[in-house]
Structure 1
Amino acid sequence: MAESPPTSVNAAAGEPAGTTGPARNPWWDNARFVSATLIVVLHTVGSLMERVEVLHSYHIATWAFRVPAFVVLAGVFSHAGPLGTRHLRTLLQSIVLPALVFSLLYSLETYWLGAEFELHVVQLPWTLWFLMSLFFWRLLLPLVVQLRHPLLVTTLVALAVGYIDEFGMLYSASRTLVYLPLFYLGWRIGQGALDTWFAGRWSLPVAITGVLASFAVGAWWHRDVDDDWLSMRHAYTAADPWGLEWAWVIRLLVLASAAALVVCLLRLVPRRRLPVISAVGAAGFTIYLLHPLVILPFRERGWIERADTPAETAGLVVCAVLLALVLGSRPVRRLVRPLTRPPAGWLFAPAAPRPPQPERTSGRTPVRLP
């Protein structure tokens, strides 16, 4: 049986309430480290992809292990019960407030770099779309689990929204609905689904084959994969290879591949605590929030694009991995906690006191001692 998610977890963002404790499951932390580090590497070298074939190959080969894996992991730690006062306050403090804080920081940084100041609210910049989608996923999950066939219905919705132009980047509407099946899959995994897959010896060679197949596609056919198929941001177009009427088939294949590859990745990730990696992986959400602010000046100043030799490109990749390690370290995590989890006592009304509970008796007359 697969271990259940830790109880000391911020269910909204998938961040642990602490870094140690008997309820911690290093399996999830190790997986978060892999996904967060792959994301940081991509955003570091992304501006070089068009002229460096190996980087574009990396982009395609690891796509499912980055954002789709992060979506699934967020679902693992989500709460599908009624959204009571405590859960709603957690959503506001751990998702909405950090989204607004980091959107403002992004606006200030781009202004410092020479752009006009623009405050992003309905369309959050760069990686912050994930927080807006996460907020809606958490609101939708208690409704989704009430369906008779949740995975089927959410998949049909994900395929159908491609025909509706209004579902685009505003409020991260398109990505929210397209990735919803993967989020639900993550919740099911957190509830113990696929335990046989994760624990069985027979699944190990299958998982290895799946990961190798992803890298084979990245190596040989990466230029044949349209980035629009993977972005999940826009409606279908008539330019799709099979025409507008069959564009949903491409999205279905992409989503199915993503789900299969994520469970392959989770099968290969070690379940034991790993030095450094498990501790840093526990801060995967913090790494995700912070790294664009560090990378942006180097990208906008053109310093990253100056890398034009294999050695310099490899050096950038090493720097990206080191950046993930630093951002996920305990000192940085403590330093930025007011940003990643802003104090919100000033925002919330005092919690209503619980009404007194009636005293329960067994129906017998109590015996009074002298």
Structure 2
Amino acid sequence: MTHPAPAAARPKQRVPFWDNARFACITLVVMGHAIQRLTSESDPALVVYLFLYAFHMPAFAIISGYFSKSAPPGRRQMRRVITDILLPYLIMEGIWSLVQFLVEGKRAFNPTQPSWTLWFLLALGIFRLVLPYLALLRWPLLWSVVISIGVGYLDNVDSTFSLSRALGILPFFVLGWQINRWRLVDRWRLVRTRAWWIRIAAAVVLIVWAVVLVVGIDLWRRIDLRYWFFYDRGYTALGNEDGTGGLVRLAAILLAVVLTAAFFVLVPRGQSWITRYGQSTMYVYLLHSFVLYPLRESGVLTDTGNPELVLIGLLVLSVLIVIVLSSGPVRRITRPLIEPRAAFIFSRKRAFDPEPPRSDPTGSRRDVTK
């Protein structure tokens, strides 16, 4: 008689919610980067920009934390830090340096200063390094908040190796890990269909945030609110001289958690057309900047008499970019850059160890065909 495989041996089924959430998050990321050049002249563009930046990267960090493990890394995990984070970072940084040399004449290859979107790869590496240590402490989430707030008072912690930004958004990563550790998703049935009144409440939260931005847009522009949502500068550099910057950052963290929760409530729970695209978000994240770069550098985004129309066009274009960069043909062509195998750099004994199915640092499925 054939006995059924034990539960631990059965492959885990993918939960559509997480892939849907990844698709939504990466779409917001592309939208934010696409419209950035419009924000200096267009209030509607700045409203959309602030709306997205208040929570879109915190949401991504929460998802990444949810799929992370706090156990000390074994050989396989350490190897994946190299193949999933370090090598793609160096490859993409080298390509960016070449592009900037050809287009702008810049002669600077400095891996310690990540180009544009590449900071998040290094942040993921830092998260993986510090999580096992935080997990040893009581109240790791509280400590991560203390670290995030405290680093803003240290002017010598800057963007080198994305350290300031990584420590700034660390609480969101730890929050995602804690949600998994506390099994809140299962206990509260968070990935099941939400009641209609919960969805309405979530929509109201996001609408209220949008209204606050519209009503106070002159103030938000004057105080450069967007830079507070980057988590990459000290409070002094942000113009805060009275020592209250920590309270502002704490408020930004709490705001991001509330907005992210509302955002996740509105994400579809079941299988839909966006689900399969949400399985390839790292491709979109690392490649979309090359699509947007010509638009940003050509001046076509700023040399227009109708920035509101351009804003709408860019938001639609962003969705198309996500779909195209998630497609099979694009993944097959760019796989050596995004998912380098690089067995040759490991010792012979370890280079040919069988690998289980891979997932990228955000928990998305990785292509397993070579």
TM range (shorter): 0.7 to 0.9
- CA separation in 1, counterparts of 2:171 and 2:311? 36
Aligned partner of 1:302: which letter? G
Q: Which residue of 2 aligns with 1:303?
A: 300
Q: Which residue of 2 aligns with 1:143?
A: 133
1:186-245 CA distance string (max 9 Å, x none): 11233422542725636434322322222222222244332221111111128756x432
**Contact 1:62 1:214 survives alignment (8 Å):** no
**Contact 2:20 2:268 survives alignment (8 Å):** yes
User: Is the aligned partner of 1:284 residue 2:281?
Assistant: yes
**Contact 2:164 2:233 survives alignment (8 Å):** yes
- CA separation in 2, counterparts of 1:85 and 1:53? 50
With over 3 angstroms needed to count, the CA separation of the structure-2 counterparts of 1:179 and 1:238, relative to structure 1, is closer
Q: Which residue of 2 aligns with 1:72?
A: 62
With over 3 angstroms needed to count, the CA separation of the structure-2 counterparts of 1:62 and 1:341, relative to structure 1, is same
**Contact 1:238 1:244 survives alignment (8 Å):** no
Cα offset for 1:142? 1.2
**Contact 1:35 1:70 survives alignment (8 Å):** yes
1:127-149 CA distance string (max 9 Å, x none): 10111111010111111111111
Cα offset for 1:163? 1.0
Q: Which residue of 2 aligns with 1:219?
A: 214
With over 3 angstroms needed to count, the CA separation of the structure-2 counterparts of 1:106 and 1:272, relative to structure 1, is same
Q: Which residue of 1 aligns with 2:290?
A: 293
Unpaired runs of at least 5, structure 1: 1-6, 8-20, 355-370
**Helix, strand or coil for the counterpart of 2:47?**
helix
Q: Which residue of 2 aligns with 1:61?
A: 51
**Helix, strand or coil for the counterpart of 1:210?**
helix
**Contact 2:40 2:46 survives alignment (8 Å):** yes
Cα offset for 1:22? 6.2
Unpaired runs of at least 5, structure 2: 1-7, 354-370
Length, aligned pairs only? 333
- CA separation in 2, counterparts of 1:308 and 1:274? 38
User: Is the aligned partner of 1:350 residue 2:348?
Assistant: yes
Percent of pairs identical after alignment? 32
With over 3 angstroms needed to count, the CA separation of the structure-2 counterparts of 1:317 and 1:87, relative to structure 1, is same
Q: Which residue of 1 aligns with 2:184?
A: 193
**Contact 1:283 1:328 survives alignment (8 Å):** yes
User: Is the aligned partner of 1:324 residue 2:322?
Assistant: yes
Cα offset for 1:351? 4.1
Q: Which residue of 2 aligns with 1:247?
A: 245
**Helix, strand or coil for the counterpart of 2:229?**
helix
After TM superposition, list the pairs within 5 Å mapping 1:103-142 onto structure 2: 103-142=93-132
User: Is the aligned partner of 1:40 residue 2:30?
Assistant: yes
**Contact 2:19 2:276 survives alignment (8 Å):** yes
Cα offset for 1:326? 0.5
- CA separation in 2, counterparts of 1:110 and 1:29? 33
**Contact 2:68 2:177 survives alignment (8 Å):** yes
**Helix, strand or coil for the counterpart of 1:304?**
coil
- CA separation in 1, counterparts of 2:119 and 2:253? 19
Q: 1:178 aligns with which of 136, 147, 168?
A: 168
Q: 1:23 aligns with which of 13, 28, 31?
A: 13
Name the stretch that deviates more: 88-97 or 256-265: 256-265
- Structure of larger gyration radius: 1
1:284-305 CA distance string (max 9 Å, x none): 1211110011111221121222
After TM superposition, list the pairs within 5 Å mapping 1:64-103 onto structure 2: 64-103=54-93
Aligned partner of 1:166: which letter? N
With over 3 angstroms needed to count, the CA separation of the structure-2 counterparts of 1:98 and 1:223, relative to structure 1, is farther
Aligned partner of 1:54: which letter? P
1:72-121 CA distance string (max 9 Å, x none): 11112212112000001011100111111111111111112132221121
Aligned partner of 2:309: which letter? A
Name the stretch that deviates more: 187-196 or 35-44: 187-196
Aligned partner of 2:246: which letter? W
- CA separation in 2, counterparts of 1:136 and 1:183? 11
1:300-353 CA distance string (max 9 Å, x none): 121222333233332222222211110111221222111111122011113469
- CA separation in 2, counterparts of 1:224 and 1:348? 54
With over 3 angstroms needed to count, the CA separation of the structure-2 counterparts of 1:81 and 1:238, relative to structure 1, is closer
**Contact 1:35 1:65 survives alignment (8 Å):** no
- CA separation in 2, counterparts of 1:319 and 1:255? 30
Calculate the aligned-residue CA RMSD, in Å: 2.2
With over 3 angstroms needed to count, the CA separation of the structure-2 counterparts of 1:308 and 1:281, relative to structure 1, is farther
